[in-house]
Amino acid sequence: PRDRPSPRRPRLLLMGQRRSGKSSISSVVFHKMQPAETLFLESTTKIQKDPIHSFMDFQVWDLPGQLDFLDEAFDFDKIFGELGALIWVIDAQDEILDPLSRLHRTIIALQRDYPNVNIEVFIHKVDGLSDEYKLDTQRDIMQRTQDELADAGLENVQISYHLTSIYDHSIFEAFSKVIQKLLPQLGTLENLLNVLCSNSGIEKAFLFDVLSKIYIATDSSPVDVQSYEICSDYIDVIVDISELYGYERLPPGPPIPRPLSPTTMARQEEGEEICSVIRLHNGMVLYLREINKFLALICLMRKESIEKQSLVDYNVQIFQDALKKVFEIGGANKQ
């Protein structure tokens, strides 16, 4: 049998005008920067190929103003020839007509050659705006875009709109939705998580991209922001500790021996992932298991469910094996 090509990481491109918030978004989501620190960020002035250690392949491009994206220097085939999403950032606190007309030109140009690229509009910096104003702005942007595209003879372009801010979890939520759309395996992942939850007494399970804290899948019970927040805080703690005491995450390669923390961490040999369990004062338990170098599973459950931890461990192991098959993770990670 022929070798199947190894699956690529989902590819994201962040575009928008100067000061729309692109560097801030990438710093907060992918580099753990505190939102308030972005006030001192230098604006993006060129294409940044951010070599991040994440489940997704992420790049930030600054658009016209300084650079013309139709410039031949840009290898659009390389970017859009593969499955991917274009995220267009519009500053909702600023004048929107000019950024919108650039967005429209870009969509029209893209539709010609790359109609399959997902177009995601982040109506950004909505913190501080009233709910009514937010929705009005969104409606206005949607209407103008629809009209403009219809004038260009494009009736059925799928565009998604997200209200985002780096000051709350909306930016992570939006990224999660963007990523999930790019995963052909999403339905399978959800099913696997559902099975895991029902067999192990788990109330909520998330599969997180560790570095960005974006969840790429969750079981089908509704997501409440608090569960998401606590799981994402937990990842921060675990990643910090594992950076101090665990194995080397960066650069990829064989793990470098480090002192192990005595309790929760253990991974010196290939195949032994970080696992950690914490009991919360409200009777709930958080259970984290690293799945591969990009992904971690985090589950919220009642403390009674963890009394049979070996069962949970076993089920998680089965889940992990299934996931490996789904993603052919071995091949994908070696890219």
Q: Single out the segment in contact with ligand GDP by CB under 6 A; choices: 16-24, 51-59, 181-189, 260-268.
A: 16-24
* 23 near ligand GDP (CB under 6 A): yes
CB of 30 to ligand GDP, least distance (A): 13
d(CA 106, CA 20): 16
Q: Which residue, 127 or 313, is less far from ligand GDP as judged by CB?
A: 127
Tokens, residue 300:
């919220």
In the window 132-151, what residues touch ligand GDP (CB under 6 A)?
A: none
Is it true that the peptide bond before 259 is cis, omega within 30 degrees of 0? no
Strand pairing report for 48-49 and 57-60 = antiparallel
Among 54, 145, 165, 305, binds ligand GDP (CB under 6 A): 165
Closest CA relative to residue 165, chosen from 50, 41, 28: 28
DSSP symbol at 175: H
Per DSSP, the residues of 117-176 read SEEEEEEE--TTS-HHHHHHHHHHHHHHHHHHHHHTT-----EEEEEE-TTSTHHHHHHH
User: Is residue 97 at the binding interface for ligand GDP, with CB under 6 A as the rule?
Assistant: no
* Distance of alpha carbon 148 from alpha carbon 133, whole angstroms: 22
Near ligand GDP in 33-62, by CB under 6 A: 38-39, 41, 43-44
Asked if 127 is part of the footprint of ligand GDP (rule: CB under 6 A), the reply reads yes
* Cβ nearer to ligand GDP, comparing 128 with 184: 128
Closest separation between CB of residue 214 and ligand GDP, Å?
16
Nearer CB in complex with ligand GDP: 117/174: 174
Q: Which stretch binds ligand GDP (CB under 6 A): 107-115, 150-158, 159-167, 177-185?
A: 159-167
Distance (Å) of CA 103 to CA 31, 119, 147, 303: 27, 10, 13, 50
Which one of residues 12, 141, 149, 166 is an interface residue with ligand GDP (CB under 6 A)?
166
Closer Cβ to ligand GDP, 38 or 333, answer by number: 38
CA distance 90 to 165: 11
Token readout for 250 is: 């960066």
The SS3 call for residue 241 is helix
Shortest Å distance, C-beta 90 to ligand GDP:
11
User: Which region among 17-25, 178-186, 206-214, 251-259 touches ligand GDP (by CB under 6 A)?
Assistant: 17-25
**Min CB(2)–ligand GDP separation in Å:** 43
